[in-house]
Structures are given as C-alpha cells and as structure tokens.
C-alpha cells in the first residue's frame, strides 16, 4: 500500500481494524515534501494518533471543534510554516471557505481519507459532510494523491467509494477481513447481567468495552458494575460534552478498566490494549458490529468478542432504525439488521460468517470461535418446552415472556389473578424455578424458533410451526449448558510490574499508557527478558526513540525480577 502511494497512485485501502491503516499514510508523510492532510471524523482518535506521533518524535497536529480560537490560529500558523508532517482535520472543516483558502498556501502531497465508508450512501455510517471532500481538490493548485481507508466495506461500498473519489479499480488493496486473534462468541438465552458481572470480575485487570443499544441500558449496566466494585466509565449522547470527555479520558488513562457505551463511543479511540468487547445487545448491522468488536486486540494479542443476544434486541433495533431522519434508508437498514439476526442464530463458524458477508469466498472455519470450539453437554428439555408452549397457547398467545414465566412459576401477581390465569392447567407447572430462569428459557425457545415474537408496542409471543411439532411429540428439543465466562489473559508477575511502570510514566507524560508501550511489547519483554539495550531493540515495538526515553527503567525492572527469581 505504501509503495502504491509513493508511486503517486490514488488508492483505496480496505484493511481490518488494527491492521495498520494509519501506517499507510504516516510512513509516506515522512518521505514526502510538505504536510499530509488526514481527514477523520473521529475527534478522540486524532488526539490519540497525534500523541503517539509526538512520542515517536514526529511533528503532527489536529484541527477540530475541541480547539480554542487561540489554539486554532496557533496550529494554522505552524501548518502554514510547514512545521507538521501530518495535519488531522474533521470533514466538516472542509465546508469552510476560509479554511480551504488557507490550505491553498500549503504544500499537500497526499490527502488520506479515514473511515472512507462514510462517503458511500450504501455504507452503514453515511455522512453528508463526506460528500463535500471532493471540494478540497478543486481548491488546491497541485492535485494531491488520494488515499481512502476503511475497515468495513462490502464490495458494493468499495465500488461506490472508488466512483466518488475517482480511484481506479486496479488501485484497490483489500488485505482480507479475518482477525485471527479475536475469539467470537454468541450467548443466547442466558442472564446477561450475570454474564457481564462474572466476566468483568474474572478479568478485572484487563481493559474492555461493553456496548449497549440504548442510553437506558448503558446506565443500567454501568450501575451494575459500579455496585460490583469494578472501575467503570460510561459514554452516551445524553451526557454533556465535558462529562463524555471526562469519562473517555478515565478509560484511556486506565482510571476505569471498563467502558459501558452506546455506539456513540469507540470508533475514535486508538487504545490498543482492549482485551474484550461485549455487546450487551445486538447491534444494528454487521459493519457496526465488526468495527466495534474490532476495537479489541488491536495490539495483536488474543481478545474476546461476546454478543449477548435476546429476541427483544431485534425489536429495539427495528424501532431505532425506523426513527431515521432519512426514510429512504430504512428498508436497506432493515435488511442489514436481518443479516445480524442470522449471525446470532448461525450454528456454523462465526468468523467465517462475518468475512463472507464482506465478500470473501472460499473461507475456512476459524477453529477458535464459540461455535467451532463448543463442547458443552446437551440436555433434553423437550418436556419443559412443551410446558411453555402449552402455557402460551392457553394464555391466548397474547402476552409477553414475563407474564408467561409468572404463570408457569405460580406467581401471585394481581393482574394474573384478574385474568384468571391462576386457574389454567399450566399455572405453577414450573414452580420449582424462579421467573427469571423461566424467562431466560423462553428466550432460548425464541432463539431456536419454537416461539416467535409479534412486534408492537408490547411484544407478545406465539407458537411457531416448529413449536407445534414439539407439542405433537414429533421433535425433541436439546439445550446446551450455559456458556461459562473465561479469563482472557494469563496473570504474570513481571508483566504486572512492567504495566505498573508504564502507567506511572504515562501519568507523568499526560498520555495514555498504550502510547508508551503496547501490551504486546510488554508481553514480548517478558518472553525475551532483554538484559542490554541491543537486546531490548529486538523487542517488538521498541525503536531508538523509545529505547532512549524508557529503556533504562524497563531494563532495570527486568534485571531486578531476574535476580529475585535466581
């Protein structure tokens, strides 16, 4: 990709999150005369990348809405004097005539357009401001090279990007969509709160993101974890700007280990040591899911991606899609949502399902996802299934799972008595279990299509054709044991010491810890146990600049640890 840019070719780069897209314009920036302009919609990502470049001794800056007037004019003065190798700007900035006039005075050899799928009306995150990017080319005397970059673009979206930016099809580089260090799993018919609580406690030293579809769900999960003693932050559009920034900073600087957020968060962070991403609810489409899940393991280390599915999620996402200000996009978005529903129900390889969606053929099973490695014992639950289906029918197929669960467990609920449901033959048939367990079992039956959900303001459940076969004794129902939460990273005393020093240095420098060294670099130090500067330079992620800044202190910790172990 870099060779193509240096040859002067306009190009499209489709590469998975964490695959190194930013290197494709940062390296050319060092080799080219002038300042590379990077267009990005992600304000926090700009800051993270500029911080990381400064750590490497590379002059860079960003211009976005977080700057004061004084900071903006100071940055522009430096840019006009050619003091930066890279200048990051938000696409909305290109709507400003005065800003475009300033760009005319600069030498710009390359324009890199990050998150390029935003250009396409077929993409999952179309932004009108991206349609105006072509204006910048009309203003500049010498036309710069164009480099469009994205992690999530189907063949249809790739074609649209190339057409919009006049990139020849032969200049398209697609590296493949597989992320071999990510372990995908879908959890259905289980108590999500219990799963999240157990998982975060087992992995309390690791950074993770929990995505939820609504603000209400974010607040709910945030309170759950806070009460459990987990250092947690939250992020959604209902919080004031300053509070969102504060919460994000807590997560980036590792004051909070877990971020609970809506999709308003996470596309714009460069934090490399996120060990897990849990989707508390199903996202609206595969592009969003893969991009959000792709926040995990950017440093290449093994990381978990769990999707906790409930049939209610489908109704929630349909409702959110139907609120779209652009009615013409609703039909397409509903189709995309159905792909996500299919993913949640597939019993085949999850990674294969994802990358086939993005246009790759002849894909092998990954052999590591939750479906490929599922060895859980299966239990015959036919009799319990018949009890539930029979109860749904006797209640007239007009109620939701909560009311059905209450009837089956023999609840003394006032409304239930008013409807004479306590006189049904199915009343109390499962009274040995609590209503939450029975509701989770009903979720399982929905996920297996024995029950279906009638959409509406109050979702009701009814027996499907498959369910009728179970009632007639034609089909047996098997259920696997619950998905057990796992530990994502092994605990290592030297790694923990190195991590503590990284945090101390980061706090002193006012930068995120992963900017000092990634988790992958620290793990490589533990493996190689370098004793000299030369040996430390063989560690992945350690170059001359970082050796000079931090080499001595990290070698000292490794030496001290080795001496204690001897």
Q: Are residues 39 and 167 in the same domain?
A: yes
Each residue of 182-231: pLDDT tens digit? Answer: 999 999 878 899 999 999 999 999 999 999 999 999 999 999 999 999 99
Structural domain contains residue 155: yes
pLDDT at 564 over 90: no
Each residue of 389-409: pLDDT tens digit? Answer: 999 999 999 998 889 999 999
Q: Are residues 323 and 256 in the same domain?
A: yes
Domain stop point among 116, 151, 174: 174
Each residue of 50-95: pLDDT tens digit? Answer: 988 998 899 999 998 888 999 999 999 999 999 999 999 988 888 8
Give the CATH number of the domain where residue 420 resides: 1.10.10.10
Give the CATH number of the domain where residue 504 resides: 1.10.150.80
Structural domain contains residue 366: no
Phi first, then psi: what are they for 543, rounded to 5°? Answer: -115, -175
User: What is the secondary structure of 355-408 as a DSSP string?
Assistant: HHHTT--SPPP-S-STTTT--PPEEE-HHHHHHHHHHHHHTTT-S-HHHHHHHH
Q: Are residues 452 and 504 in the same domain?
A: no
Q: Are residues 341 and 199 in the same domain?
A: yes
Q: Are residues 136 and 226 in the same domain?
A: no
How confident is the model over 261-280, as a mean pLDDT? Answer: 83
Q: Are residues 436 and 502 in the same domain?
A: no
How confident is the model over 498-521, as a mean pLDDT? Answer: 91
* pTM, two decimal places: 0.74
Domain stop point among 459, 480, 501: 480
**Per-residue confidence (pLDDT) for residue 455, from 0 to 100:** 65
Structural domain contains residue 368: no
**Per-residue confidence (pLDDT) for residue 216, from 0 to 100:** 94
The two three-digit tokens of residue 211, written as one number: 């995505």
Q: Under a CB-based contact definition with an 8 Å cutoff, are residues 88 and 63 in contact?
A: yes
Q: Are residues 195 and 302 in the same domain?
A: yes
Instruction: Work out the pLDDT band at 112, boundaries 50, 70, 90.
Output: very high
Q: Are residues 382 and 506 in the same domain?
A: no
Q: Which domain holds residue 125?
A: 2-174
Domain count, the chain: 4
The sign of the CA dihedral 364, 366, 370, 375 is: positive
Q: Is 541 helix (H, G, I), strand (E, B) or coil?
A: coil
């Amino acid at each position: 990709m870099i060779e193509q840019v240096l040859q002067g070719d306009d190009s499209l780069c489709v590469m998975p999150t964490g695959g190194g897209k930013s290197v494709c314009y940062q390296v050319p920036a060092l080799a080219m005369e002038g300042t590379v302009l990077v267009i990005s919609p992600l304000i926090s990502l700009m800051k993270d990348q500029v911080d990381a470049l400064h750590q490497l001794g590379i002059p860079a800056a960003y211009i976005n809405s977080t700057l004061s007037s004084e900071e903006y004019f100071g940055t522009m003065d430096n840019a006009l004097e050619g003091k930066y190798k890279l200048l990051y700007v938000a696409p909305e900035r290109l709507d400003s005539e005065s800003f475009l006039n300033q760009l005319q005075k600069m030498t710009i050899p390359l324009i890199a357009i990050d998150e390029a799928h935003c250009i396409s009306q077929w993409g999952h995150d179309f932004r009108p401001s991206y349609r105006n990017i072509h204006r910048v080319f009309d203003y500049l005397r010498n036309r710069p090279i164009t480099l469009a970059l994205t992690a999530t673009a189907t063949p249809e979206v790739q074609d649209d990007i190339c057409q919009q930016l006049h990139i020849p099809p032969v200049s398209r580089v697609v590296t493949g969509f597989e992320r071999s260090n990510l372990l995908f799993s879908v959890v259905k018919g289980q108590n999500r709160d219990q799963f999240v609580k157990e998982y975060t406690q087992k992995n309390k030293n690791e950074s993770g993101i929990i995505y939820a579809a609504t603000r209400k769900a974010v607040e709910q999960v945030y309170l759950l974890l806070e009460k459990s003693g987990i250092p947690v932050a939250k992020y959604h559009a209902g919080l004031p700007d300053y509070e969102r920034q504060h919460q994000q900073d807590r997560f980036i600087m590792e004051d909070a280990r877990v971020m609970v957020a809506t999709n308003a968060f996470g596309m714009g962070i460069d934090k490399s040591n996120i060990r897990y991403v849990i989707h508390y609810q199903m996202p609206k489409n595969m592009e969003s899911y893969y991009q959000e899940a792709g926040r995990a393991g950017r440093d290449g280390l093994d990381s978990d991606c769990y999707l906790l599915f409930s049939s209610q999620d489908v109704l929630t996402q349909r409702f959110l899609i139907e609120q779209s200000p652009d009615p013409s996009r609703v039909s397409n978005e509903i189709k995309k949502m159905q792909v996500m529903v299919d993913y949640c129900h597939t019993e085949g390889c999850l990674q294969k399902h994802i990358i086939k969606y993005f246009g790759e053929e002849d894909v092998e099973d990954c052999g590591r996802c939750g479906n490929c490695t599922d060895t859980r014992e299966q239990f015959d639950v036919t009799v319990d299934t018949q009890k539930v289906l029979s109860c749904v029918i006797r209640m007239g197929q007009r109620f939701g799972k909560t009311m059905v669960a209450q009837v089956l467990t023999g609840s003394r609920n006032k409304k239930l008595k008013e409807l004479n449901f306590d006189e049904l033959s199915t009343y109390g048939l499962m009274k040995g279990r609590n209503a939450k367990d029975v509701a989770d079992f009903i979720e399982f039956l929905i996920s297996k299509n024995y029950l279906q959900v009638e959409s509406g303001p109050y979702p009701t459940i009814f027996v499907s054709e498959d369910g009728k076969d179970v009632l007639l004794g034609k089909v047996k129902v098997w259920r696997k044991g619950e998905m057990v939460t796992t530990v994502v990273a092994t605990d290592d005393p030297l790694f923990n010491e190195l991590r503590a020093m990284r945090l101390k240095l980061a706090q002193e420098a006012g930068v995120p810890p992963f900017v000092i060294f990634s988790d992958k670099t620290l793990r490589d130090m533990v493996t190689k146990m370098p004793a000299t500067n030369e040996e430390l330079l063989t560690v992945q992620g350690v170059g001359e600049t970082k050796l000079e800044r931090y080499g001595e202190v990290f070698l000292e910790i490794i030496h001290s640890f080795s001496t204690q172990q001897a």
